[in-house]
Amino acid sequence: MNIKSKIIGVGFTAPEKILTNKDLEKIVETSDEWIKSRTGMSERHIADEKTATSDLATGAALKALEMAKIGPEEIDLIMVGTVSPDMFFPSTACFVQNNIKAVKAAAFDLSAACSGFIYGLSLAKGMIASGEAKNILVIGADCLSKLTDWTDRNTCVLFGDGAGAVVLQATEEDTGVLSSHIFSDASKTHLLQVPAGGSRTPFSVEVLEQRTNFIKMEGNEVFKNAVKGMERAIDAALNKAGLKYEDVSLVIPHQANIRIIESIAKRMKLPPEKVFINLDKYGNTSSASIPIAMTEAYASGKLKKGDILVITAFGAGFTMGAAVIRWSI
């Protein structure tokens, strides 16, 4: 029996507070025009001091469950892709499990940076195919504003907070996640990282003075490797699914930078209407960016039942991946 994974519910949550490019002009030496021209971003949502990643993830999970029309007690597994957990342990997924009362579920976090949601989707697909689980909640959630150095104009303009979730369910139909391809290039770990705060360089006065507990990035090199990596992932995932570029109804790339997205679209020879973009409203929300975009694409009518969707992402590590989905809602 060929058991597949279909998406039966989606949902997302973003904090109420909005930080615009004009607001950033008051914080660092930058401008609205500079940010828009280089990133495509106009605003981003920022969590307040009391809001943690699990709070956003919980909100997204409840919305996805509501659409799926199943109760939390029917969930077998909760995976949260995040690099900004509530704390080192317990996992953010365990907090979500308690919040939604998914009493029968296993729960764990997955650390693949901005690729976290696709990595989670790929693992969930395998779990369902093996018969280990029937209903899985895959969540991408991050509060990168709390890892951002607000004195660094090269990075503070990029990131926002949010969470997105999908409910995957076992099916014998030829629908859902048709294929996925994930990989990493660990020789590029130095290009994008939070150097301190872990076991290699624990918190200290020196860390705080040097501000190495915040995101550090070599932007130009990240750009080049991101484009190459996502192109490779897309080609591999489509090949596994036995599909070609012309079969694709919509592409949702990781919402990191408009120039990266445009490069992917050009490579695939896709018209603008086949590429979904919402980074102007949310910025880079890391692992949350794709499930947030999936939810908005469906709500706006740009994703319809039977459509072939390609999602792709890159993240610190360098982690990279893509998945091909036949939309089932």
Q: Is 58 helix (H, G, I), strand (E, B) or coil?
A: helix
156, 225, 254, 257: which one is catalytic? 254
Q: H/E element holding 22?
A: helix 21-25
User: Has 254 been annotated as catalytic?
Assistant: yes
- CA gap 175, 301 in Å, rounded: 19
What count of other Cβ atoms lies within 10 Å of the Cβ of residue 195?
A: 16
Q: Rounded distance, CA 135 to CA 55, Å?
A: 22
Instruction: Write out the E strands in 73-134.
Output: 77-81, 106-110
For tokens 């501000």, the residue is 211
For residue 148 the two structure tokens come to 């951002």
Catalytic hit among 21, 45, 94, 114: 114
How far is Cα 266 from Cα 18, in angstroms, rounded to an integer? Answer: 31
Residue 156 annotated among the catalytic residues of the structure: no
d(CA 126, CA 122): 7
Strand ranges for the chain from DSSP E:
4-13, 18-20, 43-45, 77-81, 106-110, 135-143, 161-171, 176-184, 192-193, 216-217, 250-253, 308-315, 319-326
Give the Cα separation of 188 and 136 in Å (integer).
32
Fill in the amino acid letter for 258: I
Distance (Å, rounded) from C-alpha 100 to C-alpha 44?
27
Q: Show the tokens assigned to 234.
A: 């897309």
Alpha-carbon gap, residue 19 to 46, rounded angstroms: 7
Is 284 among the catalytic positions? yes
Q: What are phi and psi of 70, to 5 degrees?
A: -130, 155
Please identify every residue annotated as catalytic.
Answer: 114, 254, 284
